[in-house]
Structure 1
Amino acid sequence: MAVTQRNTRQRTEILGLLDDLDEFRSAQQLHEMLRGQGSTTGLATVYRAVQTLADAGEVDVLRSPEGEAVYRRCVRRNHHHHLVCRYCGKAVEIDGPGVEAWAEQVGAAHDFSDVEHTIELLGTCAECRAARA
């Protein structure tokens, strides 16, 4: 049975902020952005809220190259992957039907079932390429 989380002011602020972003952001970055908007939400509250939102499937979470958890509110609620700019963090939601079939084949070949996977592609977006040229 799914547990319904109450919608707190802090979660509403964080979701509102994430709705306006195309990039994955860390809890610290989200906290700084909220503070810049005049919010009094504390950093520990932001950490708890983004984890709760991630657990509920409201936001996606990745690990940055430095190992830090970063969060983004995705348009799609179903399984998908991301193409992420390694410089600015811009993210694009992508499908991977070939990857899905491959994951199932690999699992079956090794007598595994219920195979899950996470694939994130890193690259350089057009804006960052132009800025670096």
Structure 2
Amino acid sequence: MVSNNAICCPQCQGQNVQLLSIILAAGTSHIQATHQAQSQSGFGPSVTVETSGRHQTHLAASVGPPPGKRLLGPVILTGVGAIILYDGLKLMNTYWGVDWTRFFIGAIFITVGVIGFVRHWKFNVAQYDKLEEWRRTWMCHACGTRFIP
């Protein structure tokens, strides 16, 4: 059978090539299982155990996209810092109506959260070009060469 695939490996001229994203999707499966058990006498509670996970072939794991960093952690840290800072500002029984300990703890949390957010954002922006390159990259199953046609 002759393949109509116009893309060939530049190394070995083989036609058994696939996009990395297809290899990743084909080699990754999500698993979910439920098991119920009841005592043999029929009395007593039944027990239900649920599990879920992901199975991935070694090949799929080796062709994954470049990692990104999540922004949720720094956003939560900034929000918690804002709440602590606000709580420190609304007390009236202290010097200038400010609980300075809470004020500085909140300010530190906000500062660390904003710095973390900016660093993660910059990292993700730098990874964008690598992600776009990954989306266009093919792999030859015969010789293992990765290439962009």
Interval of TM-score (by shorter of Structure 1 and Structure 2)? under 0.3
Give the TM-score of the pair, scaled to structure 1: 0.20
Task: Name the larger-Rg structure.
Answer: 2
Work out which structure has the larger RCO, using CA pairs closer than 8 Å and 6 or more positions apart in sequence: 2
Give the TM-score of the pair, scaled to structure 2: 0.18
